């Protein structure tokens, strides 16, 4: 797997052996101490914390993985992209009257900004924005969960992707902050459906479980201008792929998005299950997972692995 990558006009030395590079980065990541497994959703706190996985899938159809790359985990906020794709397709431009496309500069579950801004979330990647998107899906699909499931299964090429019922129920029982966000938006008239139904969809979607191998494959269309490189099927319009990547660049890593752009330089999305998916336009997808999180809610080891792969292969888009 060699690529002519240029940096500052100079070709970057490409490793002959991608697997050896990933293995080195993976071993270095495993030595990183610190971070905490998410515990505010009790079922997530039970996950074995030292697990670690890294997958690099390129648009030529190659996929290289190291570590626990076949192990499925709770994708949590990474699922917000699937919901957003369906909502963009269903309601078009009017979506952007109900949710903005600006970075929030606040933690992903912050409430305060939502009141100042009269129930219009800053972007679809913070919890308030994703709950708004869930409202669109519940209101505009007769079976919103089936719509998400069939999209995800199509993208990753597997029929056996499911939500983890324990994680779903666990978050339902402890999701008071998300319920507060949903009710606040309802009070401003920005939620149409029944709040409990919206939250049920949102928590279910966050509880989807996938591996880094499946995630890397699922997001390849975003690196390929909206076309799945494996099936050659158009998944979203080219403009929508650009828009989703733009939102990931500014808001995908929450209030660490600026630092991530600075040090890594590709669109990416993280989840509190410890997964991170990074989209490298015209090249491929890097997916990493390890459950222990930094204080922004991003995987400590996952960040290291994505940053090292992007840096050593010269993948920044800037
Ligand atoms: O709503 C929540 O808080 C979780 N279901 C998802 C949060 C999440 O993954 C944020 N990611 N960094």
Q: Is 152 annotated as a binding residue?
A: no
317 belongs to a structural domain: no
Per-residue pLDDT band for 229 (boundaries 50, 70, 90) equals very high
Task: Count structural domains, the chain.
Answer: 1
pLDDT at 2 over 80: no
Cβ-contact 205, 148 below 8 angstroms: yes
The first and second tokens of residue 262, run together, are: 């600075």
Of residues 63, 74, 77, 257, which has the active-site annotation?
Answer: 77
Pocket of ligand 1 (CB under 6 A): 76-77, 108-109, 127, 171, 178, 206, 254, 270-272, 297
- Domain ranges, residue 63: 6-312
Distance 298 CA to ligand 1 centre (A): 10
Q: Provide the CATH number for the domain around residue 25.
A: 3.40.710.10
For a mutational test of ligand 1's pocket, the pick from 206, 215, 274, 288, i.e. the residue with the most ligand atoms closer than 8 A to its C-beta, is 206
Greatest distance between any 2 Cα atoms in the chain: 58
Beta-carbon-side half-sphere exposure of residue 288 (alpha carbons within 13 Å): 29
Q: Beta-strand (E) ranges in the chain?
A: 6-7, 10-11, 36-37, 53-58, 63-67, 73-74, 209-210, 268-270, 275-280, 284-289, 292-293
pLDDT at 308 over 70: yes
pLDDT at 304 over 90: yes
26 belongs to a structural domain: yes
Cα–Cα nearest to 251, from 121, 155, 114, 56: 121
239 belongs to a structural domain: yes
Question: Could you report the predicted ipTM of this complex, rounded to two decimals?
Answer: 0.97
Q: What is the pLDDT of residues 272-288, one digit of tens each?
A: 999 999 999 999 999 99
Known catalytic residue: 118?
Answer: no
Q: Whose CA is nearest to atom 2 of ligand 1?
A: 127
Beta-carbon-side half-sphere exposure of residue 54 (alpha carbons within 13 Å): 25
pTM score = 0.94
Q: Whose CA is nearest to atom 4 of ligand 1?
A: 76
318 belongs to a structural domain: no
pLDDT at 6 over 70: no
Q: What is the mean pLDDT of the chain?
A: 94
What are the φ and ψ backbone dihedral angles of 75, each rounded to 5 degrees? -80, -15
Q: Whose CA is nearest to atom 7 of ligand 1?
A: 77
Confidence at residue 17, expressed as pLDDT on a 0 to 100 scale: 87
What is the share, in percent, of the chain residues with pLDDT greater than 90? 94
172 belongs to a structural domain: yes
């Amino acid at each position: 797997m060699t690529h002519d990558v240029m940096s500052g006009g100079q070709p970057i030395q490409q490793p002959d052996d991608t697997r050896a590079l990933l293995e080195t980065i993976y071993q270095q990541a495993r030595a990183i101490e610190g971070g905490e497994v998410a515990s505010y959703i009790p079922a997530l706190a039970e996950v074995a914390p030292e697990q670690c996985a890294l997958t690099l899938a390129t648009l030529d159809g190659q996929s290289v993985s190291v570590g626990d790359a076949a192990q499925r985990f709770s994708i949590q906020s990474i699922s917000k992209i699937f919901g957003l794709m369906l909502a963009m397709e269903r309601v078009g431009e009017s979506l952007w009257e109900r949710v903005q496309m600006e970075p929030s500069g606040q933690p992903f579950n912050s409430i305060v900004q939502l009141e100042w801004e009269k129930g219009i979330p800053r972007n679809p990647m913070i919890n308030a924005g994703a709950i708004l998107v869930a409202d669109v899906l519940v209101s505009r699909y007769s079976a919103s969960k089936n719509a998400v499931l069939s999209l995800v299964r199509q993208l990753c090429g597997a029929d056996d992707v499911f939500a983890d019922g324990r994680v779903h129920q666990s978050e339902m029982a402890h999701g008071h902050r998300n319920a507060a966000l949903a009710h606040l938006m309802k009070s401003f008239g920005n939620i149409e459906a029944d709040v409990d139904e919206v939250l049920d969809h949102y928590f279910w979607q966050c509880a989807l479980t996938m591996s880094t191998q499946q995630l890397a494959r699922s997001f390849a269309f975003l690196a390929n201008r909206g076309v799945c490189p494996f099936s050659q099927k158009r998944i979203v319009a080219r403009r929508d792929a650009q828009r989703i990547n733009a939102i990931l660049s500014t808001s995908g890593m929450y209030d660490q998005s600026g630092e991530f752009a600075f040090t890594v330089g590709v669109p990416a999305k993280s989840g509190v299950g410890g997964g991170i998916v990074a989209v490298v336009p015209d090249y491929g997808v890097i997916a990493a997972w390890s459950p222990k999180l930094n204080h922004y809610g991003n995987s400590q080891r996952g960040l290291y692995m994505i940053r090292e792969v992007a840096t050593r292969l010269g993948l920044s888009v800037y």
